[in-house]
Amino acid sequence: MLPIPPSVRRLVILFLIAAPLLSIVLPAAAAPADTDAPSKLQPRAPQPSRRMGATKRSKKMEPLKKKDYSSFLCPGGSVACPIPGDEVTPSSVEALEQSLNSLADWFKVGFECVELDTELNSCGGCLALGSGQDCALIENARTTGCESGSCQVYSCFDGYIVSPDRTSCVKKGSTTPATPVTAVNIEELVADDQLPLGR
């Protein structure tokens, strides 16, 4: 056994003597000066209960918005559009909207991923849901496209011209035609000195 130094022995004896004395002295010192203060937690004061049958007035709540499942069904930038049935009518749109409540419903109905800003056949919205336009169905239009979610007409069949707003074809002579969308003729620009060519 190792010998214990005398200084450590003195500290141990001092601790054994001082510990009981400290336990007697400390609770008296920690006692509050105010003897009226409760030393334990008190239960809440009694309160009358609510009247039987009284109902809380409910606030008017807005109906929950349907969850957009596009992020689950389609890659970024595209939107899930249900595949339309035979004909799109207001009643078929309403019935379709009511039936699409879960991912499983989307798979039952069928869907396609569409970029609404550029899709020719669903420009600006889902046709089956009553929004958007099929640019290929514009009357008398030969060439159409979808730009920024709206249909644009580029050329029309004989006897028709592109309207000034580029959204339809009108009979030739009934209005001022739109500026044609063509490639720039570089030779004309060079001849007019509008295009500097290393001079």
Number of folded domains in the chain?
A: 2
| Cβ atoms of residues 151 and 125 within 8 Å | no
Same structural domain, 117 and 146: no
| Residue 16 domain flag | no
The pLDDT mean for the chain works out to 78
Same structural domain, 73 and 127: yes
> Is 185 or 9 the better-scoring residue by pLDDT?
9
Same structural domain, 149 and 185: yes
Query: In the prediction, which pLDDT does 32 show?
Result: 55
**Which residue among 113, 131, 149 closes a domain?**
131
Q: Which helix (H) or strand (E) holds 199?
A: none
Same structural domain, 95 and 74: yes
| Residue 101 domain flag | yes
Same structural domain, 71 and 119: yes
Identity (one letter) of the amino acid at 40? K
pLDDT mean over 91-108: 86
Give the number of other CB atoms < 10 A from CB of residue 141.
21
Least confident of 9-13, 15-19, 55-59, 191-195: 191-195
Query: In the prediction, which pLDDT does 9 show?
Result: 86
Q: For residue 95, what are the domain limits? A: 67-131
**Which residue among 102, 131, 160 closes a domain?**
131
**Which residue among 108, 131, 154 closes a domain?**
131
Residues 41-92: tens digit of each pLDDT: 788 888 877 766 656 666 676 666 667 777 788 888 899 988 877 777 888 8
| Residue 32 domain flag | no
How far is the CA of 143 from the CAs of 116, 139, 163, in angstroms?
19, 11, 13
Q: Which helix (H) or strand (E) holds 141?
A: strand 141-147
Query: In the prediction, which pLDDT does 97 show?
Result: 85
| Residue 103 domain flag | yes
Give the model's confidence band at 16: pLDDT under 50 very low, under 70 low, under 90 confident, else very high: confident
Query: In the prediction, which pLDDT does 184 show?
Result: 47
Residues 114-144: tens digit of each pLDDT: 999 999 999 999 888 888 899 999 999 999 9
Query: In the prediction, which pLDDT does 186 show?
Result: 46
How far is the CA of 37 from the CAs of 31, 34, 40, 41, 60, in angstroms?
11, 6, 9, 11, 47
